[in-house]
Chains A and B, each alone.
Chain A
Amino acid sequence: MATRTGRGARKRLAWVGFLALLLGAGAAPAADLSNDDCLACHSDKTLTTKRWARTVSLFVDGKRFSSSVHSALSCTSCHADLEGKDLPHSTPLARVQCGSCHSDEQKQHANSLHGRAIARGDALAPHCVDCHGNHDIVPVKDPRSAVAPLKIPFVCGRCHREGTPVQTNRKIDQHNILENYSESIHGEALFKKGLVVTANCASCHTSHNILPHTDPSSSIARRNIAATCTKCHAQIEEVHRKTIKGALWEKEAHVLPACVDCHQPHKVRKVFYTQGMADADCLRCHNDERLKAADGRSMFVRTVEVAGSRHAKVSCSQCHSGVNASRVRPCETITGKVDCSSCHEEIGQQYQRSRHGQLLVAGDANAPNCKECHGTHHVLGRHDPESVTFPTNVPKLCGRCHREGQKAAVRYIGRQHEIIQHYTESIHGKGLLKSGLTVTATCTNCHTAHLVLPRSDPDSTVNPKNVPATCGTCHHGIQEQFVQSVHSALVTKTDKEMPVCSDCHSAHSIRRTDETGFKLDIMDKCGRCHEEIARTYFDTYHGKVSRLGYTKTAKCYDCHGAHDILRVADPRSHLSRANVVATCQKCHANATRRFAGYLTHATHHDPKKYPFLFWTFWGMTTLLLSTFVFSGIHTLLWLPKALEMRRELRAAEQSENEQESGREQLEEKAGSEDGNHAD
């Protein structure tokens, strides 16, 4: 087209150029407009106009247009009202009539809900451009297309979504359409599996001939539904043989229930299947108590078990999937085991990530699967006291494997032992099992029910990093204090391992904190890291009394706090200058500031830190040693002499006894002893 130039055109161009200069705006000749003429102005990204008080861009991407299905057309082919107009043209232009080419679609659309709404002058009604776009239309098969299968739900969802004016102001019977669709088997196939042949909005509602289900000619009218669904589910009647007698499909289709009666529209997964029929088929065999599998397992199904279970309304084949209804023995096609995750999808994912799931994948014979814990047909909710997963039964349940000597315990190489025993004696165990307090923490509260991971896994709820949050789910107030304390990894940045709840309270043998045993034990717990400071504490009166086994004197937490331990330099600390006297006063009612100067961690072994204590101690020790050395030597020297004296006295006594009257002999002896002495 651009080649159609001549003298006159050139002249006109010159004239237009002059006009453009005059008007200060881009302009093009009126007649015989080429696309380039249009793009001379419309390739400017800043070109805008005001429409209904809104600023609308008038930019046309020439490149994208040239790759669109309409690239061979000139602008005026669609914007027909510009034909023969002078440039720059006035705005607004008339709406493009796609129907001039796409007459069938135009006709359908005009007859559809949308077209009729346009005719009514409904401002919300969609025109071609609202779904298809304008200058960049590409074939539907092109993934870039605005109406490519993957985009359709969003194109429709733009209006048919909760909260939009269409959904709120117009009479639409269905709700949460987009959400339900995306969760449905169709939506999942489209979004999760990228299956573009799956049903999207247009597959059922048609693209242009969209009619209400009340309209007999609608694709979703009751009598047309089957035809619509069978476009894809071509042999669906084969599958429904058990439900609906085959002859009816042909002879009396109008008496049959519509697909949507069971498979609700938009949420085709959360099905309302008619119950009982399929189960009755299964029970024809499985109701027999003598029924045995090839390996001898009983295949008898107690219907009362299922009826009283959480799955009372779930049919056999929903869990035992893979049945082929066309077979005489529909179950003979079942190859896989029951996959609970087909309904309990999220839980299934958690389980697969868990240690249990990992072991199962690894083919470990000890790995517990769903039924190991939940049972099979008699599955009860965890709120049912009869259920094995009811809180009071959980320790027993986990204990089946984790009790000492059982299969999980024997392969365990960590530090926790006698887990069930310890738990039972712990505050949680007593609360649960003795006081019947079902809100008490059981195994699953800390380890989770399905995402059970070893402590070393950073995602584990019992990984040290996550322990405060885990305990905090119940002990929230404590967690709030703890995360601000020096022991919190958020406060103290260090490479050393920081203590978490379980380091002081233990994991499975958590005791009441007002128990004497716990109170005394906690000092050793603090002392595991604060070795020196604990040792010096035990040198003081407080520590000595605690050592004797009495809890009345101050222990670590009495002064430092328990969970809200802060640096002494922190003004909020119990031991800050502002608070320390009040802290002492908790026990010493009349404590003064000077009294608070008592050294609670004093040691006489540190000459640098406490020189006066050091020298007092060594002064006293010197006094002690010198006194003992001196008197010791004195005594030792005395001993032989004293022994000698004793011998003499004894001898004297003896001779006195022998000769009561004879004094001469005594004198003689005295004389001889005198002689000895002289030696």
Chain B
Amino acid sequence: MPTDLELRAPDGQPSSRTVVPDRETKRPEREFVRFTRLQRALHACMIISFISLALTGMSLKFSYTAWAVMLSRLLGGFQTAGYIHRTAALLMFGVFATHLYDLYRLKKHEYKSWRALLFGPNTMLPTRQDLKQFLATMKWFLGMGPRPLYGRWTYWEKFDYFAVFWGIAIIGSTGLALWFPILFTRFLPGSFINVATIIHSDEALLATGFIFTVHFFNTHLRPEKFPMDTTVFTGHMPLAELKRDKPLEYEALVASGQLEANMEEPQPEIVVRTIRAFAWIALSLGFSIVVLIIYAMLFAYR
């Protein structure tokens, strides 16, 4: 059974061969480019937007708690909080639209057809392979098998990805109804606003809860990545990590000879530091929100 360590042995040599001689600095190794500049920018925008939405929204949802009252004051009152919420929502819609446009461009320039993009080996859509890997992962969790060999996108990454689609559709549409109630009640009954409130609020609770716990664990807090994985911010992934976490992708890249083309110099130290600071802020805000929600739901619920 191949483990990541086994896989590392044959591939460790080409990387050291290509990188080491060119380097005199401390960080000689070139890194694998996993995310494009635009993707990284979109993720950062989404963090800003998401945390803003969560903070402003939760201050209203949990208005019966003292922290909500304080938070609302801190944000400049419920009206300012409302402006922030709607501005952040627009940013989120923008992120979503830009991503769709990016997909269209990707299809046009790289994949040439939707079929290639959507059903190729690097697809974001769930596949039979994902189901197999999920089952294999379960076995691995239970000590009944080895760790599966994951490809470019694992099933949990795909789940996270589509959770955003789902969230934007559900929270976005109900949010618009709450934003423009008079417009929406032109063709929907007034009590739809009540329904929209419940859906918007509970789906938002699901999204925040999920992102700030499950997503955080899956990508950042897993002990082997602890305290965080900066790949989505820098766009770079150490080759060793690629080999360990995405062996199938690595193999495919090696096989197609595309690996070298996807390697880049590491980000400058200052950039990495800034990114780490930003990520730390985002992580701690996210965690704080989770703590506050749990407090509100367990101890202050009315």
Q: Check: B206 CB closer than 8 A to any chain A CB.
A: yes
Query: Which of B34-42, B100-108, B197-205 forms contacts with chain A?
Result: B197-205
Chain B minimum-CB-distance residue to A547: B63
B197 and A541: CB pair below 8 A? yes
CA distance A667 to B5 in the complex (A): 9
- The size bracket of the interface on B is 35 or more
B194 and A646: CB pair below 8 A? no
Given A541-B197, A545-B63, A670-B9: A597 touches B202 (CB 8 Å cut-off): no
Chain A 146-178 residues near chain B, CB threshold 8 A? none
Given A594-B185, A627-B210, A631-B210: A645 touches B203 (CB 8 Å cut-off): no
Residues of B contacting A677 in the complex (Cβ-Cβ under 8 angstroms): 1, 3, 146
Q: Check: B59 CB closer than 8 A to any chain A CB.
A: yes
Chain B minimum-CB-distance residue to A647: B223
Give 1 or 0 for each of A646-678: 1 = CB within 8 Å of chain B CB: 101100100000000000000100100110010
Give 1 or 0 for each of A576-599: 1 = CB within 8 Å of chain B CB: 000000000000101110111111
CA distance A643 to B197 in the complex (A): 41
CA distance A612 to B190 in the complex (A): 13
Given A597-B190, A599-B190, A641-B140: A613 touches B195 (CB 8 Å cut-off): yes
Given A597-B185, A635-B217: A652 touches B224 (CB 8 Å cut-off): no
Given A545-B63, A594-B189: A550 touches B3 (CB 8 Å cut-off): no
Residues of A contacting B239 in the complex (Cβ-Cβ under 8 angstroms): none
Q: Check: B172 CB closer than 8 A to any chain A CB.
A: no
Chain B minimum-CB-distance residue to A638: B141
A598 and B191: CB pair below 8 A? yes
CA distance A416 to B59 in the complex (A): 37
A645 and B223: CB pair below 8 A? yes
A612 and B203: CB pair below 8 A? no
Q: Which of B59, B69, B194, B214 has the most CB of A within 10 A?
A: B194
A624 and B202: CB pair below 8 A? yes
Give 1 or 0 for each of A34-69: 1 = CB within 8 Å of chain B CB: 000000000000000000000000000000000000
Q: Check: B26 CB closer than 8 A to any chain A CB.
A: no
In-complex Cβ contact of B78 among A538, A545, A641, A674 (8 A)? A545
**Min CB–CB distance A632 → chain B (angstroms):** 8
Give 1 or 0 for each of B171-191: 1 = CB within 8 Å of chain A CB: 000000010011001101111
Give 1 or 0 for each of B66-91: 1 = CB within 8 Å of chain A CB: 00110011000111000000000000
Q: Check: B51 CB closer than 8 A to any chain A CB.
A: no
Given A538-B64, A548-B78, A670-B5: A638 touches B190 (CB 8 Å cut-off): no
CA distance A521 to B62 in the complex (A): 19
Given A594-B189, A598-B194, A642-B224: A588 touches B69 (CB 8 Å cut-off): no
In-complex Cβ contact of B59 among A541, A548, A634, A642 (8 A)? A548
Residues of B contacting A637 in the complex (Cβ-Cβ under 8 angstroms): 138, 141-142
In-complex Cβ contact of A596 among B64, B190, B197 (8 A)? B190
CA distance A548 to B75 in the complex (A): 12
**Min CB–CB distance A106 → chain B (angstroms):** 97
Residues of A contacting B181 in the complex (Cβ-Cβ under 8 angstroms): 588, 595, 598
B226 and A646: CB pair below 8 A? yes
**Min CB–CB distance B16 → chain A (angstroms):** 11
A598 and B61: CB pair below 8 A? no
**Min CB–CB distance B107 → chain A (angstroms):** 30
**Min CB–CB distance A40 → chain B (angstroms):** 92
CA distance A36 to B93 in the complex (A): 120
Query: Which of A294-302, A361-369, A615-623 forms contacts with chain B?
Result: A615-623
A646 and B224: CB pair below 8 A? yes
A597 and B191: CB pair below 8 A? yes
Chain A minimum-CB-distance residue to B82: A545
A616 and B198: CB pair below 8 A? yes
B186 and A592: CB pair below 8 A? yes
Chain B 186-239 residues near chain A, CB threshold 8 A? 186, 188-191, 193-195, 197-199, 202-203, 205-206, 209-210, 213-214, 217-218, 222-224, 226
Give 1 or 0 for each of B270-302: 1 = CB within 8 Å of chain A CB: 000000000000000000000000000000001
CA distance A596 to B1 in the complex (A): 67
14 contacts between A and B (CB under 8 A): A538-B64, A544-B63, A548-B63, A549-B72, A595-B185, A597-B189, A612-B195, A620-B198, A628-B210, A631-B213, A634-B214, A638-B217, A649-B224, A677-B3
Q: Give A residues with C-beta under 8 Å from B.
A: 535, 538, 540-541, 543-545, 547-550, 552, 588, 590-592, 594-599, 602, 604, 610, 612-613, 616-617, 620-621, 623-624, 627-628, 631-632, 634-635, 637-639, 641-643, 645-646, 648-649, 652, 667, 670, 673-674, 677
Cβ-closest 3 pairs across A and B: A597-B190, A620-B202, A637-B141
Q: Give B residues with C-beta under 8 Å from A.
A: 1, 3, 5-6, 9, 59-61, 63-64, 68-69, 72-73, 77-79, 138, 140-142, 146-147, 156, 178, 181-182, 185-186, 188-191, 193-195, 197-199, 202-203, 205-206, 209-210, 213-214, 217-218, 222-224, 226, 302
